[in-house]
Structure 1
Amino acid sequence: MAEAPTAAAAAGGAAEVGNPFNVAAGEIDGVFFAGGFGDDYIKYAGQLVEKAHPDVKVKVQSIQKVQEQLQPRFVAGTPPDVIDNSGAGLIPMADLVAEDQLLDLAPLLAAPAWDTAGKTFGDTLFPGSQTSAIFGGKQYGINIAYTISGIWYSKPAFEAAGYTYPKTWAEMLTLCEQIKKDGKQSPWTYQGRYPYYIWGIVWNMLVYYAGGDDVIKKLDNLEPNAWSDPAIKRATEDLYQLWDKGYIMPGTEGLTHTESQTEWLKGKAVFIPCGNWLENEMKDTTPADFNMTVANIPGYADGKGDQNAVNANGGETYIVPAKGKNTAGGMEYLRALLSKDSAKYFAENVRAIMPVTGGTEGAKLSEGMKAGVALAEGSKGVAINMNFTNWYSAMNKEIDQRTGELMTGVIKPDEFISIMQKKADEVAADPDIKKFTR
């Protein structure tokens, strides 16, 4: 991967950056997941810190399997100063919180913003972008990406085929049948070995569109019989239709995220669910004329939820371990990372959005990013998230496994719902699991 350009833009504002955490000379030990966003932006933020604090060196180590590689350091009491805790192998946040491993980031939120005069760091973040990293009212992580997720397809290929993007899920199924009859492509594929792409991007939105936020709130709060709500039955049965009617590309279940996305780029399937990191993750294999774009999950004409709501949330969670050697340095790195300077670099080079006010000002956006921003603007601030999978690792593992089984016909919708309710009841009844509500 190309080396990040020098952070020359920081030079003019370095004098105003300050040092609110009293970071001492020495090293900031950073270990970061390098996935769809790559690691150039991580290096760029490090250069911002080093430019502002010449006696500080930011160590950048990029890894893939966060839990496997960092769990031993947590156990030994020698964790890094700042971590990008992301990817399929992340360390469950709820587990780290329960073990008192994370620093409360209230001081970071209250600190002066890096390059926005008169504002605190917290003031510059998009409202609602940090909720998934709040546990018991405390901010234990910072989401550095504003992820807009939806259904992706090649705009020119879609239009050349004469297709019209569906407004409702019923229309989606009708279109899938037409694509299947045309016989040139499968209607759908998804990241088969990582089912959270399809339940976290499609199923959760169908639940919301059918029943509104009250249904999701009941799931988050582990309420008795929450999973028996008609909206969940409807959403689960509708998602299952993709498998049951043969609309999913054969072999999808055995593919990794990049493998399924590669097959999609080859034209083997029309639709794939993903977040707006997709463009950057697949930039080296995307055909020049593919012109990928993203659209919302089609809802229900008679649904209770806001049908313009979008699957958008803060993600790519960075944490500062409480037992890190240089926690002040860890917070200072995050202060630089979520600056306007860094956010603009992120928009132009990673083709993704940071939840930073003014972060895309003057940035040249890709077509996929423009479409994602349009979805967010069209939602009028209504963004849907589920918390129970983030709060309870057992629930996250269960829905991942069971969605994989649902999407391969191993279990039927009623069985999926029954199993999930049973697991929710087990978690609710376990006194050793700390509970959260909203």
Structure 2
Amino acid sequence: MKKRILYLVLCLIFVTSLFAACSTKSSDVSKDSTSSVETSNKSISKSETKDFSGRTLEVMLDKGGGGSFYEPIIKRLQELYPGLKVNYWYDLNGNEVFRTRVLANNAPDIFNLNQGLFSYYSAIEEGLCLPLNDILELPTMDNTQKLKDIIDLNLMKQKGYIDGKYYMFPDLLFTAGLWYDAKLLRDNNIKVPTTWDEFMDAAAKLKGKGIYAIGYCGTMAHEYPLSYWFYPMVCSVDYETYVGIQNCDPSAWKSEGMKEVVRRMEELRDKGYYDASTVALGNSETQMQFIARKFAFLPCGSWLEAEMGDAWPDDFELTYLPFSGKKDSSGSDYVLTSSLASSVSSTTKNIDIVGEFYRVFFSDKTAIEGQIKVHQNGMAIKGFGENYGHLLNKSTEQVWKAIDQGVKGFASLANTWYPEYPKQAGNAINALMTGSINGDEFMDRMEALFQSIKDDPNIVKYKFGS
């Protein structure tokens, strides 16, 4: 409690300087330079005259794998409603800036933040997020249906669905797993692995060519190796162990399935198949090492091709590996399916404009096509593949084809429910892969962490289904 009070005091002290820094990162795409006019909190009504002249909508996006995908939405919104001003900005420290603005009673109307650093569930419990049920009742742009009829509500229920209320919109859907350069394997006569033994055979041959088998972004170990490599492998080895992790069961870290996963990680490390230099690299630097073919397999999301833009060599054949660690052909491979999500501030004075934002977001064809062309990922719209799949890049298409062919999707929620956990897990994975700790110490550390979470009465516990 003392630390929290101190944190709040420091935030208040530095609020002015943070606002100044944030303003340099803000982007005003308004066609109208009229200053914002504060209005009362309006109710959502499909019959309301939509004249937003002289008003300002504030949108905050923690720019990451989705790129600037909000821009086509905002552009379309302003085309439809001339005179509306939209202030939107990107900030990699968005979670900190958001909290500071909350303290100053100046929260953005809409915010999309990194779920590895920002706990939406804590924000919901604190009353910072507005229930979205009323927005779902709004008509689509062609007035033929309601938003709730065209949005996949099952996907919405994966995150931020509490006591019958929706608090988080899945803005885009991404998948994550291992990626490789098909040309690299082909040129070195290496078979694309489909079982763990084949993966280790490929790793041995790659080492003989002076190439590491795998590397990952160590400075974001709470996300990249944990969610995109470790989790899929746990699922393939023993899915019940994965369910135990999501349910914060300390014993999951000492299960036979976990022991096998840890044994594999130690084997990769001890045989020199892991590029330990990547533990100190950021996301872009790690991906540039991958592009330079320093290592062959990269844990990442389906945004990879779009995110690296023009950095790809002409002869690089980026390919999704539909393998996560199954022992033999009788097992299953898994791919993480998740979303970048947005919420609405409970203090917004622009709920009517917010409603129009999401109507355009999910039901305006121009806006939908515009954002897909930027982020190159799926959306929680029914019939998405049939209607918009042709807009995806080749590598993303491969993932959805693999899912159609039997690769199983899985969701991860423990990272969001228990925000301290992924940070500690990422640190432990880094320590294990660099040899700072051994497998037993890794499992002991994670078991103790989960026991402390389980025993803490101040931490809300959630139930994960299969």
Same fold (TM over 0.5): yes
**Alignment match, 2:326:** 300
State the distance in 2 between where 1:332 and 1:409 align.
Answer: 53
1:292-320 CA deviation, whole Å, 9 max, x = no partner?
1111233323699x61432222x111111
Indicate conservation of the 8 Å contact 2:250/2:448, yes or no.
no
**Alignment match, 1:131:** 158
State the distance in 2 between where 1:411 and 1:332 align.
Answer: 52
Q: Secondary structure at the match of 1:317?
A: strand
The correspondence of residues 321-336 of structure 1 with structure 2, limited to 5 A, is 321-336=345-360
Report the alpha carbon displacement of residue 208 of structure 1 after superposing the two structures with TM: 1.2
Task: Indicate which of 319, 337, 354 corresponds to 2:379.
Answer: 354
Q: Secondary structure at the match of 1:284?
A: helix
Task: Indicate which of 107, 113, 132 corresponds to 1:85.
Answer: 113
- Aligned partner of 1:233: which letter? K
Task: Indicate which of 189, 194, 200 corresponds to 1:167.
Answer: 194
Q: Secondary structure at the match of 1:287?
A: coil
- Normalising by structure 2, we get a TM-score of 0.82
Task: Indicate which of 336, 343, 360 corresponds to 1:319.
Answer: 343
State the distance in 2 between where 1:19 and 1:173 align.
Answer: 59
C-alpha RMSD over aligned residues:
2.7
Q: Secondary structure at the match of 1:193?
A: helix
Indicate conservation of the 8 Å contact 1:114/1:335, yes or no.
yes
State the distance in 1 between where 2:297 and 2:73 align.
Answer: 34
State the distance in 2 between where 1:206 and 1:412 align.
Answer: 19
Pair 1:203–1:348, CA change in 2 (3 A): same
State the distance in 2 between where 1:379 and 1:113 align.
Answer: 33
Range with greater deviation from structure 2 (50-59 or 410-419): 50-59
Task: Give the greater-gyration-radius structure (CA).
Answer: 2
Whether 2:273 is the aligned partner of 1:241: answer no
1:262-298 CA deviation, whole Å, 9 max, x = no partner?
1111121111110011111101211122121111233
State the distance in 2 between where 1:106 and 1:194 align.
Answer: 34
Report the alpha carbon displacement of residue 135 of structure 1 after superposing the two structures with TM: 4.3
**Alignment match, 2:70:** 42
Report the alpha carbon displacement of residue 122 of structure 1 after superposing the two structures with TM: 5.6
1:339-373 CA deviation, whole Å, 9 max, x = no partner?
36233323333322222234452534322122122
Q: Secondary structure at the match of 1:132?
A: coil
State the distance in 2 between where 1:51 and 1:85 align.
Answer: 26
State the distance in 2 between where 1:323 and 1:130 align.
Answer: 23
Pair 1:334–1:409, CA change in 2 (3 A): farther
Report the alpha carbon displacement of residue 79 of structure 1 after superposing the two structures with TM: 0.5
State the distance in 2 between where 1:240 and 1:344 align.
Answer: 44
1:216-239 CA deviation, whole Å, 9 max, x = no partner?
332222235232221122122223
Indicate conservation of the 8 Å contact 2:45/2:352, yes or no.
no
Report the alpha carbon displacement of residue 376 of structure 1 after superposing the two structures with TM: 2.5
Report the alpha carbon displacement of residue 261 of structure 1 after superposing the two structures with TM: 0.2
Pair 1:116–1:164, CA change in 2 (3 A): farther
Indicate conservation of the 8 Å contact 2:303/2:377, yes or no.
yes
Q: Secondary structure at the match of 1:67?
A: helix
- Aligned partner of 2:362: which letter? L
State the distance in 1 between where 2:56 and 2:185 align.
Answer: 51
Pair 1:233–1:114, CA change in 2 (3 A): farther
- Aligned partner of 1:29: which letter? E
**Alignment match, 1:271:** 297
Report the alpha carbon displacement of residue 257 of structure 1 after superposing the two structures with TM: 0.6
Q: Secondary structure at the match of 1:310?
A: strand
Pair 1:135–1:24, CA change in 2 (3 A): farther
Pair 1:391–1:411, CA change in 2 (3 A): same
Report the alpha carbon displacement of residue 69 of structure 1 after superposing the two structures with TM: 2.0
- Aligned partner of 2:60: which letter? V
**Alignment match, 1:400:** 426
**Alignment match, 1:433:** 459
Equivalent residues, number: 417
Identity of aligned residues (%): 22
Pair 1:294–1:169, CA change in 2 (3 A): same
**Alignment match, 2:369:** 344
Whether 2:91 is the aligned partner of 1:63: answer yes
State the distance in 2 between where 1:165 and 1:126 align.
Answer: 37
Indicate conservation of the 8 Å contact 1:220/1:388, yes or no.
yes
**Alignment match, 2:6:** none
